[in-house]
Structure 1
Amino acid sequence: MPKSLGKDSTCSIARSLEVVGDRWTLLILREALIAGSTRFQEFREALGVAPNLLTQRLAFLVEQGLMTRRTYQEAGTRARDEYVLTEAGRSLNVVIAALSDWGRTRRPLAEGTSPAFAVGESGAPVRLAFVTGDGEQVAAEQLVARRTPDRELAGR
């Protein structure tokens, strides 16, 4: 599945897309993050994806360290695997939130649904924002992005 993307495959965006750039992969992650899905059948029912494709994508997510495979067994059934997000997988919640926000505002649909993110313990609603080191919120329209070596960004 992974392949080198473009001329500058050292770019962090290209490196990320090598892992999560497939629509089924992102939808599997969405189901795991938002619906709490862990079982093959849960993903199948929610996504309607072909079983062979789902098997492939789940194995890839495990291989890439975004999910871990764990065996479970319900009484009277054979042992099966479930797929649980790792810390790396859970950290993609900001990507899923950004895609959701963009889709809701730039591709609105009257009957659409979107995830609402909140602080786990308190339930306080949260939203995505660009914030300076001083805590000042900056509108996306004001941003400028420049290629910068990763080592220069460490600790920012």
Structure 2
Amino acid sequence: MSKTTRATQALAKAGAAFDVLTYDYQSGAERIGLQAAAAIGEPPSRVLKTLMVLVDGKPACCVVPSDGELSMKRVAAAFGGKAATMMPPAEAEKATGYHVGGISPFGAKKRLPVAIEAAALAEPYVIINAGQRGVMVRLSPADAVRVAAALAAPLLA
């Protein structure tokens, strides 16, 4: 398993301080984010999952605590749209260049709008997928927002 990914390269290029964490990715896990949190011994509020959505038909990325559920109404509002839906997995992979279970808001193939759950900014650090299944990065919420060029908004139901 490589610890260098497009996501870690993007973080390094942006001058963000981060640590790479690895865990045994379980492809059959029902909730990958919760499985990752348990595997690395961190609370789900700090282990953020990356979810791809369509807002008024346009792709966008949401980064939320692994134990949270998106509110599509809040997602649409955050991106200034009228309606939001989950993006089909094959479309998410095509839009980001990452495989589902390894999608990162950093270093995606194509620059997409990103929103991070505002409550996550209160955490001392966050852990986000590094662009490969079983590889994550631990960094400050401020660096996550800066490198992803993300907006902070309430996204959870």
Shorter-chain TM-score above 0.5: no
TM range (shorter): under 0.3
Indicate the structure with greater helix content. Answer: 1
For the pair shown, the structure with the greater C-alpha radius of gyration is: 1
Indicate the structure with greater strand content. Answer: 2
